[in-house]
Amino acid sequence: MRNHTGSEREMIIDCDSCVVRGLACGDCVVSVLLGVPPNVEIDALEQRAIDTLGRAGIVPRLRLEPVDRSA
């Protein structure tokens, strides 16, 4: 994942904040790789690997949809 400056950064996946948790866990790449954890921290290299595997159809794509807590 890239931030607004275009540089790579870590992604923190918190399944508790995913709006499709429960509905999409069964085919989420995080669940496939790690089971259904409360949250996962993925660095830029790991994220690129997951993105590549997902685009190739080897694993499901990451379906994280963070909850907008500002509303």
Domain count of the fold of the chain: 1
- Is this model's pTM higher than 0.75 or not? no
Enclosing domain of residue 22: 1-71
pLDDT digits (tens, 9 = 90+) for 16-48: 788 887 777 878 887 777 776 566 778 888 888
Length of the chain: 71
d(CA 45, CA 33): 15
Please choose, from the candidates 4, 13, 3, the residue with its C-alpha nearest in 3D space to the C-alpha of residue 46.
13
Whether residue 62 has pLDDT greater than 90: no
